[in-house]
Structure 1
Amino acid sequence: MSPDVDAILYRLAGMFNERSGFGVTDDTFHALSMLHRLGEPTWFALGDMDIGLHLLRSRLVHSGMRLTEAVADIAHRLAIDAAVLPMSDEPVRTRVLTDDGDLAMQRWFVEQKCAPPVRSLRYEGIEAAQPAPEVVQAVHDADAVVIGPSNPVLSIDPILTLLAPHLDRRRVIVVSPIVGGRSLKGPTVEMLRDLGEEPTTTGVAKHYARIARTVVIDPVDSATQA
Structure 2
Amino acid sequence: MLRGWATSRAPWGNMYEFINLTCFCGLVAALFVLRRRDLRPLWVFVLVPVLILLAVSGKWLYADAAPVMPALQSYWLPIHVSVVSLGSGVFLVGGVASSLFLMKTSRLGDPELAGRLAGVVSRFPDPRILDRVAYRTTIFAFPVFGFGVIFGAIWAEEAWGRFWGWDPKETVSFIAWVAYAAYLHARSTAGWRDRKAAWINVAGFVAMVFNLFFINLVIAGLHSYAGVG
Smaller-chain TM-score range? under 0.3
Compute the TM-score of the two structures, normalised by the length of structure 2. 0.25
Compute the TM-score of the two structures, normalised by the length of structure 1. 0.26
Judging by fraction of residues, say which structure has more helix: 2
Judging by fraction of residues, say which structure has more strand: 1
